[in-house]
Amino acid sequence: MNTKFLDKFRFLERNQAIILGKCKSIIDSGVLQIEPIEKAKKEIRREAKVIYSKQKSLGQEKAKELALLQFDPLLSRFHPQKHFGAVPEKLEAALQKYIKKDSISKEVKNQGDHALSFKFPLIEPDEFKKLFYLKYMRSVAHAGENVGTIAAQSIGEPSTQMTLNTFHLAGHGAANMTLGIPRLKEILMTTPTNIKTPCMTVFFKPNQDMTQEKMQKFAKSFERIRLQEVVKEIKLA
């Protein structure tokens, strides 16, 4: 995917006139299917309301997450270049959060008469959602596109900067981690059994009664201990 500025919602909102001008013909063509995806989203919202009504202690956000688990992902059911609004659930949640709390139109509404004026016209939340869906459709890689070359560029560009920040860790008290290009080569070109500095992040469920001591004990159970690390001396009789 060409995801440049895809999650930069404020940038999209500021440049909405340019993007809508490029994409308006797609909406007017009538090729896109809107009703199936809207019906699927209504089913998810209905399931979330049912879960929330039974267990209000979970909260609405958690109820939405549990409702999503009851259905297959939208992208597995609807092609994003045919169905208008078929985006990943995580990206949809970030979009909804931005519209409710962080959008420019929301800031202007909250500030009232003290709000700053903008050169560009403000866009309504529903129109901004359409704008984002159009931007996502234009970001999807087309059939036959050289995705391998694009992926190589995506890795090569940031790795060039990584070389400049690899060995600048003077006085760093953390573990001696392999960083920069050596770490990238280690992940992509070697087998998992040969990783020099293996590390793993373990997440605990919030409803589990786990103290800091229990979590540390559980984490240490994954560590590999060699015999020479625990034995001081060996004698053969």
Contact 139, 8 (CB under 8 A): no
Task: Say what the pLDDT of residue 143 is.
Answer: 75
Establish if 78 belongs to a structural domain: yes
Task: Say what the pLDDT of residue 60 is.
Answer: 83
Query: At what angle are helices 89-97 and 125-139 packed, to 10 degrees?
Result: 150
Q: pLDDT digit string (tens) for 54-68?
A: 888 888 888 888 888
Domain's final residue, options 139, 167, 199: 139
Q: pLDDT digit string (tens) for 168-184?
A: 555 555 555 556 666 67
Are residues 60 and 99 part of one domain? yes
Are residues 127 and 38 part of one domain? yes
Task: Say what the pLDDT of residue 27 is.
Answer: 64
Are residues 108 and 50 part of one domain? yes
Task: Say what the pLDDT of residue 181 is.
Answer: 67
Residue type, 49: K
Are residues 94 and 46 part of one domain? yes
- Within 10 angstroms of residue 215's Cβ, the number of other Cβ atoms is 13
Are residues 195 and 80 part of one domain? no
Contact 125, 99 (CB under 8 A): yes
Are residues 90 and 127 part of one domain? yes
200 is in which domain, residue-wise? 147-229
Across 65-86, b (16+ Cβ under 10 Å) vs e yields eebbeeeeebeeebebbebbbb
Are residues 121 and 155 part of one domain? no
Does the reported pTM lie above 0.85? Answer: no
Give every residue of the chain whose pLDDT is below 50, as ranges.
Answer: none
Total structural domains in the chain?
Answer: 2
Are residues 182 and 121 part of one domain? no
Task: Say what the pLDDT of residue 25 is.
Answer: 67
Task: Say what the pLDDT of residue 3 is.
Answer: 62
**Cα separation of the two ends of the chain:** 67
Establish if 234 belongs to a structural domain: no
Are residues 206 and 98 part of one domain? no
